Structure 1
């Protein structure tokens, strides 16, 4: 899977890795390099294929169109029959509707024909009905048409055997329409990515409950469950894991037995109650990316546990959202064999931003129209807090602010990550 840089100048603008943390672009490249598509495939009927990823191309089983046919309602004739200066008159001796098999067209005759109907042998031109007059079964023409008009020719769209959809295509309604045109009843797709979601934290209570003293509502589980509700993903389970190393080890061991991807929230920092990294290592797993120099989300961790990939997200909801967008979505695309849509766009700031030197920042931003050059105008959150979610609800995406710490002035060009549809 090819990944694109999230910042157009000086890599991602994160500066050098800080304290073992990777730069953002280096981490994205590593995710692409260490993730291969799932090998298992299955055949799925077209009616249930939306959102799935093709494992093999869709090939045209016949030329498109399959036969010469009328492009509009009118009259089919032989152009050679229109001799002399005109006007011309031809008897109409058959009526051809879509789905009917016509008789050959006799010389000096015309046929009433409707859109999509097969062209009779001998006919080479269709006169649209608005340019024709018929009385007593005779077609009268006052102007000479161009030969071959208003006909869709066999194979003019594509030839038999042509590749219509490439492997790796995520199927939407328009792709399924093309597959149906190709004569396919089903398509071969990669099986869904099996995911286990583990949320840690003794302080969590379920949404809808009134939190007791010291408790907070679990935001990450419903948020990530929604993000993982897609046709190419099977969410095997979403569980809450108590804050103990033993519970972490038990939950991870079970997840590693049947998941392609384990997503965890919380427990990846360096506090005394953060057990996730130690539990992964205790089970013989590996940590490939220990941290990424971004704000929010520096503790995000990526590794492997048995055959499963592991994505350890921070516990704060804003951090979990941002890091899942940056790393979870590419992981799912790579495992499902699809190309990650290029979400990065260029915009300009509508206002000044003052910052401190440090990590590159991922901040919510709103699109406020376009400038005279067609670039997006972006209004950016003036601050960021890893636990605050309300700015995301109003945002259209996030900007990537480089780590230099230099003030960014109104009109500065900046990279923008637009939220994918439904995210």
Structure 2
């Protein structure tokens, strides 16, 4: 069986999510964590009128000026007259005809009601209409993750609702009779480290984890695998399984997928660590991501196929790879892509980390991402490599 290379697998997983669910219109209070399904355009110029950017006096002509009223934010001023000063608050409409604003801290008021002082700058201290954006201007493209900042600018430019794609729901199933979910494992058993950590990774790649707590391992039988996957797919668009991706005596995932009528999108990837990982589509459009049982390999599998899939399902672009310089040599892995745990140090260089075995998590806990060493190559100190940087925040831009 020909294994797709790592880059090809990412592209295939992203394309699998192209038939995303229809977007929905939601109020601004409910859109954080979603994805824009259409460009965000202003419904008004920003700002819509000449707006004072400081507290002070809007003046016309040379000083001293006769005080001729006050205008606060939300009020409509009358036109400024020659020789007058109008007290003005930050954010208020500048009176038509005003030529400058003298800051309140730079002005003095005489007992006869006059105002004197000098503008601090040659250019008026106000914002002009359209200075930030013209009416109808595109501020953000479709596919942009909705953050609190996006919600704020949407409200500022007149939107009450947004057309968005909701984040897909994703759940986790852990396979293995050898797993225990609490305490120190006894002889022959292993503490499950994937059930506790994968929900956090899912949040950071833009999915909504729907993982029961506690998460109990699925029994090592075909019937239990089929039932668990079918049940999970009833409540989540993506089912992430851990373990069972080989074809050993207790590896039932492939047989379960066959019984459920699944079609493979990706079936193993030429990557180390991370072998073997798979992505399959169930009848009805739900997905199963088969992640290896070794913890670091499982995280690599999730970032290889699930992150691009989530991006596809939400209309986001394929997660980007960044270019970095290496601070030390990085070995290759023969014909496979090598994803090497790395940390960016203060000198700006990426250094491979120790404790990077497939079953190890010590290096993963300190890493900033994976260096991508192409098949059939190795890197020397100072070489340029792609970096699959870890997503740090829920819904982070890919």
Give the TM-score normalised by the residue count of structure 1: 0.84
Match of 1:115 among 68, 90, 105: 90
Q: How does 1:82-161 map to 2 (within 5 A)?
A: 82=62, 88-135=63-110, 136-140=112-116, 146=122, 149-161=124-136
Q: CA deviation at 1:421?
A: 0.4
The structure-2 alpha-carbon separation of the partners of 1:413 and 1:145, relative to structure 1 and needing over 3 Å to count, comes to closer
Deviations, residues 17-42 of structure 1 (Å, cap 9, x unaligned): xx521111111121222221532333
Task: For residue 241 of structure 1, give the secondary structure of its aligned residue in structure 2.
Answer: coil
2:388 aligned with 1:411: no
Partner of 1:223: 197
Match of 2:302 among 324, 328, 343: 324
Q: CA deviation at 1:382?
A: 4.9
Q: CA deviation at 1:110?
A: 1.9
Task: For residue 150 of structure 2, give the secondary structure of its aligned residue in structure 1.
Answer: helix
Cα RMSD after superposing both structures: 2.6
Gaps in structure 2 of 5+ consecutive residues: none
The structure-2 alpha-carbon separation of the partners of 1:405 and 1:110, relative to structure 1 and needing over 3 Å to count, comes to closer
Partner of 1:68: 50
2:226 aligned with 1:249: yes
Deviations, residues 264-311 of structure 1 (Å, cap 9, x unaligned): 111111212111011111221112321111111121011211111221
2:193 aligned with 1:211: no
The structure-2 alpha-carbon separation of the partners of 1:300 and 1:158, relative to structure 1 and needing over 3 Å to count, comes to same
Structure 1 distance, partners of 2:393, 2:58, is 49
The structure-2 alpha-carbon separation of the partners of 1:76 and 1:257, relative to structure 1 and needing over 3 Å to count, comes to same
Partner of 2:323: 345
The structure-2 alpha-carbon separation of the partners of 1:356 and 1:382, relative to structure 1 and needing over 3 Å to count, comes to farther
Partner of 1:14: none
Structure 2 distance, partners of 1:336, 1:380, is 32
Partner of 1:9: none
Question: Contact (CA 8 Å) 1:168, 1:338: kept in 2 or not?
Answer: yes
2:368 aligned with 1:396: yes
Structure 1 distance, partners of 2:384, 2:162, is 43
Task: For residue 47 of structure 2, give the secondary structure of its aligned residue in structure 1.
Answer: coil
The structure-2 alpha-carbon separation of the partners of 1:353 and 1:256, relative to structure 1 and needing over 3 Å to count, comes to closer
Q: CA deviation at 1:46?
A: 2.8
Task: For residue 324 of structure 1, give the secondary structure of its aligned residue in structure 2.
Answer: helix
Task: For residue 228 of structure 1, give the secondary structure of its aligned residue in structure 2.
Answer: helix
Deviations, residues 207-263 of structure 1 (Å, cap 9, x unaligned): x23423321111111111222246953334455321111111222223334432121
Partner of 1:15: none
Match of 2:353 among 377, 381, 400: 381
Q: CA deviation at 1:130?
A: 4.8
Question: Contact (CA 8 Å) 2:59, 2:86: kept in 1 or not?
Answer: yes
Deviations, residues 100-121 of structure 1 (Å, cap 9, x unaligned): 3323323332212222121123
Deviations, residues 324-344 of structure 1 (Å, cap 9, x unaligned): 122211111211222344242
Task: For residue 305 of structure 2, give the secondary structure of its aligned residue in structure 1.
Answer: helix
The structure-2 alpha-carbon separation of the partners of 1:337 and 1:37, relative to structure 1 and needing over 3 Å to count, comes to farther
Question: Contact (CA 8 Å) 1:40, 1:191: kept in 2 or not?
Answer: no
Structure 2 distance, partners of 1:37, 1:121, is 53
Structure 1 distance, partners of 2:118, 2:245, is 82
The structure-2 alpha-carbon separation of the partners of 1:21 and 1:383, relative to structure 1 and needing over 3 Å to count, comes to farther
Structure 2 distance, partners of 1:93, 1:120, is 11
Q: CA deviation at 1:137?
A: 1.5
Structure 2 distance, partners of 1:76, 1:130, is 14
Deviations, residues 308-365 of structure 1 (Å, cap 9, x unaligned): 12211111111001111222111112112223442423222x2334556342211211
Query: What is the number of equivalent residue pairs in this alignment?
Result: 389
Question: Contact (CA 8 Å) 1:51, 1:231: kept in 2 or not?
Answer: no
Question: Contact (CA 8 Å) 2:167, 2:208: kept in 1 or not?
Answer: yes
Question: Contact (CA 8 Å) 1:265, 1:314: kept in 2 or not?
Answer: yes
The structure-2 alpha-carbon separation of the partners of 1:231 and 1:392, relative to structure 1 and needing over 3 Å to count, comes to closer
Task: For residue 321 of structure 1, give the secondary structure of its aligned residue in structure 2.
Answer: helix
Structure 2 distance, partners of 1:231, 1:33, is 16
Partner of 2:313: 335
Question: Contact (CA 8 Å) 1:268, 1:312: kept in 2 or not?
Answer: yes
Question: Contact (CA 8 Å) 1:345, 1:417: kept in 2 or not?
Answer: no
